[in-house]
A and B are shown apart, each in its own frame.
Chain A
Amino acid sequence: MSKYKKSNSLQSTALQCERGGRVLFDNLTFELHAGEALLVQGANGSGKTSLLRIITGLTTAIEGDVLWNGRPITADEQAYQRELLFIGHQSAIKQELSVRENLRLHYALNGCGADSMVELAEKVGLRQRLGVICSRLSAGQQRRVALARLFLSEQPLWVLDEPLTALDVDFIAAIEACLQAHLANGGMLILTTHRGLDLGTATIRNLDLNESAKK
């Protein structure tokens, strides 16, 4: 059963990225197809986050393009953004709002989602805390609120920057199951993590930034 188009693909032409006058990577290429995961690895400061931001289109690479289905993502930005879910290492949770209000923003950002708010809160284990202001939650709970978007998402391409920080074992298992289901549906996944992750039977491509770093 595949929910998303099998023909989806993401590629790059020789990407170059520079931060603070230092070349982080050069001639970096990758390729990703429906149902596959791309694991971006590298030491701290090797440019993982920069690469993910280039893939989302927030930053532009000095050289090279990211191609979605063969076309540069800048060519039709809105169409690409409809296919993309990005969760950065900042959780984008509004501290002043309650869990319920933050989840409501998720619904608006995703534009869809079959689950009701209560079901969604149940899935991330925050049902009893819907009315709590987010600044009162622990770091892990805030992360759960942010990751609730995964359970709503209908976008084929997920780009996740360190999704597992501050999470407990149970919730990591839930996230793994969610990622596996997404890949089985023909979704695509790009993530950075310093922790092992069980993605089941999906094809996993590795991208090591330490190797492509320019000395």
Chain B
Amino acid sequence: MRLFLFIFKRDMLLAIRRRRELANPLVFFIMVVSMFPLGVTPDHAFLAELSAGVIWVTALLAALISMDSMFRSDYGDGSLEQLLLMPGSKVVLISAKIAAHWVSIGLPLVIIAPLMSFLLFLPPQALPSLIITLLISTPILSLLGAVGVALTLSLRGGGVLSSLLTLPFYVPVLIFSTMAINAAAVNQPVSGYYALLAAFLIVSILLVPFAVVAALRVSYN
């Protein structure tokens, strides 16, 4: 637990120092979503129909472009190897890094999403499900992204490859999340979708740190 807090605090401090990198995904998210009414149509009904998908796809891509920051700079300056040489559980170490990444990238997206939903006229009854799906699923995005980044660390231009590796695993999350929001918009039950997403989250939390540790070993060999 001490190790977890130490790494978490360290990564949060670094995230705060790199404000520009922190703002990047958020600015991307706001810009893309606000372009839609301008570029497609300002028609309320049409935008309302699109809104769940647009918000989700944009949030997903915003998370994806920020994945690299999780390990790449620590790998580049040699601090990742120092962290791996620390006595202590590597799984805890990795979990702390992923948690810090989610708090600094995923959580701001969740917070800003309700505001963005007004731009796209998301039906008000669907708003809670937008927030809940984002809350459950953005950690999944950070977790799965970590595996892709860890696997491609030692490659030049690994960023593109890691996106390609990760994207297929994001698709189910995207499908179930938008289905939940659309169901909520027409007042249908949504708890089934939540349960599926939560199950996905739990499985990722349990398995991903081990996969990342193994992937890092591959990258260092």
Residues in chain A within 8 A of chain B (CB atoms): 53, 56-60, 78-79, 81-82, 84, 86, 88-97, 101, 105, 108-109, 111
Contact = CB atoms under 8 A, between A and B. Distances in A.
B113 to A, nearest CB: 28
B77 interface: yes
Contacts of B84: 58
A163 to B, nearest CB: 13
Contacts of A79: 87
Nearest to B6: A108
Contact of A92 (B17, B82, B87, B221): B82
Given A59-B221, A97-B14, A108-B6, A90 B85 contact: no
Interface string B82-102: 101111100000000000000
B44 interface: no
Interface of B: 6, 10, 13-14, 17-18, 76-79, 81-82, 84-88, 220-221
A92 B85 contact: no
Contacts of A88: 78, 81
11 contacts: A58-B81, A58-B220, A78-B88, A79-B87, A90-B77, A90-B78, A91-B78, A92-B77, A94-B14, A96-B18, A97-B13
A109 B77 contact: no
A17 B201 CA distance: 40
Contact of B86 (A59, A81, A96): A81
Contact of A109 (B82, B220, B221): B82
Nearest to B84: A58
B87 A105 contact: no
Given A56-B81, A111-B87, 10 more contacts: A59-B220, A59-B221, A60-B221, A78-B87, A81-B85, A92-B77, A92-B79, A97-B13, A97-B14, A105-B10
B159 to A, nearest CB: 20
A17 to B, nearest CB: 11
Nearest to A78: B87
Contacts of B76: 90
A101 B13 contact: yes
Contacts of B13: 97, 101
A158 to B, nearest CB: 12
A88 B76 CA distance: 12
A134 to B, nearest CB: 10
Contacts of B6: 108
Contacts of B220: 53, 58-59
Nearest to B9: A108
Contacts of B14: 94, 96-97
